[in-house]
Amino acid sequence: MEKIKITLKDGSVKEFPRGTTVMEIAESISSRLAKEAVGGEVNNKVVGLKYQVNEDADLSILKFEDEDGQDVFRHTSAHILAQAVLRLFPNTKLAIGPAIENGYYYDFDSEHRFTQEDLEKIEKEMERIAQENLDVERFELPRNEAIKYMEEKGEAYKVELIENLPEDAVISFYKQGEFVDLCAGPHLATTKPVKAFKLLSVAGAYWRGDEKNKMLQRIYGTSFPKQKQLEEYIHRMEEAKKRDHRKLGKELDLFSIQEEGPGFPFFHPKGMVIRNLLEDFWRKAHVKRGYEEVKTPIILNEQLWHTSGHWDHYKNNMYFTEIDETDFAVKPMNCPGAMLVYGRKMFSYRDFPIRMCELGLVHRHELSGALHGLMRVRCFTQDDAHIFMLPDQIKDEIKGVIDFVDYVYSIFGFKYHIELSTRPENSMGTDEEWALAINGLKEALEEKGLKYKINEGDGAFYGPKIDFHLEDCIGRTWQCGTIQLDFQMPQRFDLTYVGRDGEKHIPVMLHRVIFGSIERFIGILIEHFAGRFPVWLAPVQVKVLPIADKFMGYAEKVTEMLQDLDIRVELDDRNEKIGYKIREAQLEKVPYMIIVGEKEMESNTISVRSRDKGELGSQEIQPFIVGIQEEIQSKTL
């Protein structure tokens, strides 16, 4: 195999196989050289964080904007946090401190209870550590020496971690100034690049996540190379709090989660308006694209789940019951039911592709601590489709679904990125089948000219998948749509068709969702629009507000006119001042308010106020109706 020569600052040369990462290099060379490999010069190029060898045998710099780059940056930040805590609270014992999405945390065992004032002091000390520009040095110790080293420091949690490492594990430490931590790395070369810190909160956390162990204090934080990036992140966090779908869902009276049904959402009348609109849009879009809707039962015989493979791969997430002394399962997925629908009769190759769609209610057992409003529930409706096809139709069907997903997301103004997830460890099928399936997805994406990221080992147990991660208006991403290519399930259910040769063959199938879950998609929409739904999706599109009771008759006439045209309208007939009625309508985020008084009644006009544009002034009724109907019809954002 061709070797890559890596020249370090001291002039020495090391050789590694193509594809070697900096972590592998750091584990194989001395502590001083490891530091240079992570943050020095390689092939006369400055390396900021971490690098990998590309196809041309050159070394490419990994930047903070890269996911792995952020992990290294935040991991170093966690060490700076721990160092600052030890400087201010010397009797504190260290547990663990990993990088996490958008930040990091560190768990501490301290008799002192950390307060908000403490977090501010710790932040200032972290800034000093960064300014000290401390070199970050890696070194290794044999197991016995490593245990002794941590025992002498009084770090019992670190001793336990070392004792639980595999016998052949490399036991490495990272040192910055007076601070040393057990760590696999990698890290930045110095503390200097970490210029902007923010400690976010303190929470309790059991050691190793076990409630039988001691409760530790977990400090959460985030960090960035620039203060501006930190300020933008804090702004997004504050905006996310305002947009929390649980808060808005209550304020707008859309849904609730009741104590009697944890994880099982209740949709209120206004929430049902949104849900029905989404489902109606979904159905019409599917009819246009040649899908036929089916409905399969919620409870099916347990044996079915053995056949499908879900029993071996998913039983811990399923609910069970017994009927007539026979074991049944509540479905966690819709696909086995679709297999039974297909298997009801024999198809010919002329019938393909067969596109079945289903708004199927599924139930999955989620731990109570994982439940989160509509985003993580125990029952939800998947907008499933199962496409049965001939092998030579695979590429065109995948491309058709990609176009469909793009159309749906564009309606709501979502941008998205794509990931291709490959074979997981616990999977069904042969290497040949998986290679064929992965290549089919790749070719479809490449023919569409779409960029995608490989997500190794994250496919479904029966096949690889394309995942669509949509981006909301404050930059958060949500995995919703997916296309899964499956050679396994048709075989397991012995599904066949009569081919051109008159013989029986096994079809190929796609599993596909676009919304993903109706419930979760509604939660995303609430946060994306901050409850200010576009007119076509708003539960109430118009509020009619009479200034006084004597104008109620005219207000009722306007209300009936809009109702007759299927415009969702409410009449506020309360004996309240008009200013109060307007404020209430604004809090309800109604797109349009029609205010009627003596002037409007006498001239047969209306005074219109827009949620988004403010006062629109006096108008005749008919032009207003034409305008709002155009907004509804075109699904204007």
DSSP state of 353: S
Q: What backbone torsions phi and psi does residue 107 show, to the nearest 5 degrees?
A: -95, 130
Contact criterion met (CB below 8 Å) for 446 and 480: no
Q: Which residues pair with 387 in a beta bridge?
A: 355, 510
DSSP, collapsed to helix, strand or coil, labels residue 324 as coil
For residue 278, the one-letter residue type is L
Half-sphere exposure of 314 (CA within 13 A, CB side): 23
Return the closest-CA partner of residue 159 out of 215, 203, 207, 206: 207
Candidates 465, 543, 568, 611; catalytic one: 465
H or E stretch covering 261: none
357 is catalytic: no
Q: What value, to the nearest 5°, has the Cα angle with vertex 576 and ends 572 and 578?
A: 75
Return the closest-CA partner of residue 590 out of 373, 375, 280, 273: 273
Q: CA-to-CA distance for 423 and 457, rounded, in angstroms? A: 5
511 is catalytic: yes
Return the closest-CA partner of residue 608 out of 544, 534, 532, 537: 544
- Residue 508's CB is within 10 A of a number of other CB atoms, namely 25
451 is catalytic: no
Q: Which two tokens stand for residue 187?
A: 């890290």
Q: CA-to-CA distance for 417 and 467, rounded, in angstroms? A: 8
Q: CA-to-CA distance for 334 and 374, rounded, in angstroms? A: 20
Q: CA-to-CA distance for 468 and 480, rounded, in angstroms? A: 6
Q: What value, to the nearest 5°, has the Cα angle with vertex 101 and ends 97 and 104?
A: 25
384 is catalytic: yes
DSSP state of 157: H
- What's the residue count for the chain? 637
Contact criterion met (CB below 8 Å) for 435 and 422: no
Candidates 183, 335, 357, 379; catalytic one: 335
Q: Which two tokens stand for residue 449?
A: 């000219």
Candidates 218, 511, 512, 589; catalytic one: 511
Candidates 138, 386, 528, 581; catalytic one: 386
335 is catalytic: yes
Reduced 3-state DSSP string for 529-594? CCCCCCHHHCCCCEEEEECCHHHHHHHHHHHHHHHHCCCCEEECCCCCCHHHHHHHHHHCCCCEEE
- Residue 610's CB is within 10 A of a number of other CB atoms, namely 11
- Residue 33's CB is within 10 A of a number of other CB atoms, namely 20
Buried b (16+ CB within 10 A) or exposed e, 546-582: bbeeebbebbeebbeebeeeebbbbbbeeeeebeebb
Q: What are the helix and strand counts (H, E) for the chain?
A: 20, 35
Return the closest-CA partner of residue 230 out of 85, 114, 74: 74
Q: What backbone torsions phi and psi does residue 602 show, to the nearest 5 degrees?
A: -70, -35
- Residue 503's CB is within 10 A of a number of other CB atoms, namely 9
Candidates 70, 217, 382, 484; catalytic one: 382
- Residue 401's CB is within 10 A of a number of other CB atoms, namely 22
363 is catalytic: no
Q: What is the DSSP string of 72-134?
A: HHHHHHHHHHHHHHHHHSTT-EE----EETTEEEEEEE-SSPP-HHHHHHHHHHHHHHHHTT-
Candidates 74, 79, 331, 364; catalytic one: 364
The residues annotated with a catalytic role in the active site are: 335, 364, 382, 384, 386, 465, 511
